[in-house]
Amino acid sequence: MPFVAIVVLAAAWSGFWYVAATRAEAVVSAWIEQEARAGRVYECASRTVGGYPFRIEARCSEPVMQLTTLQPPRVVTAQDLVAVAQVYQPNLIIAEITGPVSIAEAGNPPSLRADWRLAQASLRAVGRQPERLSVVLDALRVDQTDEGAAAAIGSADRIELHLRRSPTEGGDSPPVDFAAQIAGGMLSAGPLSGRPIAAETTGVLRGLADFKRMPMPARLREWQRAGGRLELTRLRLQQGEAIAVAAGAVGLSPSGRPDGTFDITMAGFDQVVRELVRGGGMQAGLIAGLTFLGRPADIDGRRAISVPFRITDGAMRLGPIPLGKLDPLY
């Protein structure tokens, strides 16, 4: 009897896993068809579903994504893509993509190439609604390619991005909390190249009604009508002795231009000015001007200055100094 019970349980579990795997394959196929109608065509050299007995593993070898709505169309290719969900926890999906990833205009050689040691994403859902998304990249390197030759653009030891529906506010369109971090970032060209950059930010995105796919102008117009705001509770950038910290919020005006206010606090900004501006007289003028405009502040016990940055219907001002006007986003 124990042997018969084990056989029956094994057969029942096998049947359950087969049904779950079949449904997962159907969901993936339906999603690919839906994406194709939106101008994002996905293809695999081969696609398999496995992972028996305790998980469902979908593998796409040599994945290709064609962005047909862009002009000219773009083609993104990678080496391998694997997505895994445990049978007992099907609402948590972990995906890993193997590089390098290349981006090219349709019919042309790749113009950008990215590679990494690890690229992983996890998605947790409640019902049909995504609840939390996390993306991690380790040892990232981005190159610009031209006729087979590669020129480095930048790199980072680690990049993290986390998104979640706010657990403290409900409603039909709850805010989205976000956090991002870059460690050991490095630019390979330009005046700020050669020294590691560290960055981190946290904030809240309000007014995003849903995650349905739509053209970006339509999405921004809907976001503006809903009173959407992007609130930065903290943004910190550091390169060497130079540190900048910012906080504020921005939305869109009825004309579709950015509209918001940020408080920017800087320490060691004279070093950045010297890197960006080579002329001695202009360096001194910019440093003196920022010192005059700013008010005394403190960052990690260091002397700093704080300057307000305002955008009013696209018109930018650093303190009382106008910096030009931004074009409408839709």
Count of H-run helices and E-run strands, the chain: 4, 21
Please report the pLDDT score of residue 193 as a whole number. 79
Instruction: Quote the tokens at residue 10.
Output: 């094994």
Please report the pLDDT score of residue 6 as a whole number. 84
Give the 3-state secondary structure of residue 229: strand
Please report the pLDDT score of residue 55 as a whole number. 87
Task: Give the C-alpha distances (Å, rounded to integers) separating 162 from 126, 168, 171, 202.
Answer: 17, 17, 21, 9
Question: How far apart (Å, rounded) are the C-alpha atoms in residues 281 and 316?
Answer: 25
One-letter amino acid identity for 242? A
> In the 8-state DSSP scheme, what is residue 220?
H
Do 139 and 114 form a contact (C-beta atoms < 8 A)? no
pLDDT 10s per residue in the chain (330 long)? 888 888 888 888 788 788 777 776 776 777 778 778 777 888 899 988 888 888 889 899 999 999 887 788 899 999 999 999 888 777 788 999 998 999 998 888 888 999 999 999 998 876 666 788 999 999 999 999 887 678 889 999 999 999 998 877 766 678 999 999 999 999 887 767 778 999 999 999 998 876 666 778 888 899 999 889 999 999 999 988 889 999 999 999 999 999 999 999 988 876 666 655 554 545 455 555 666 667 888 888 888 888 899 999 999 988 877 888 999 998
Please report the pLDDT score of residue 87 as a whole number. 80
Please report the pLDDT score of residue 166 as a whole number. 81
Give the 3-state secondary structure of residue 107: coil
Find the angle CA(45)-CA(50)-CA(51) to the nearest 5 degrees.
135
Would you kindly state where each structural domain of the chain is located, as residue ranges?
1-118+144-149
List, as one string, the DSSP characters of 1-66.
Answer: -HHHHHHHHHHHHHHHHHHHHHHHHHHHHHHHHHHHHTTEEEE-SEEEEE-TTTEEEEEEES-EEE
- Gyration radius of the chain over CA positions: 25
The upper half-sphere exposure of residue 161, i.e. CA atoms within 13 Å in the direction of its Cβ, equals: 8
Do 293 and 268 form a contact (C-beta atoms < 8 A)? no
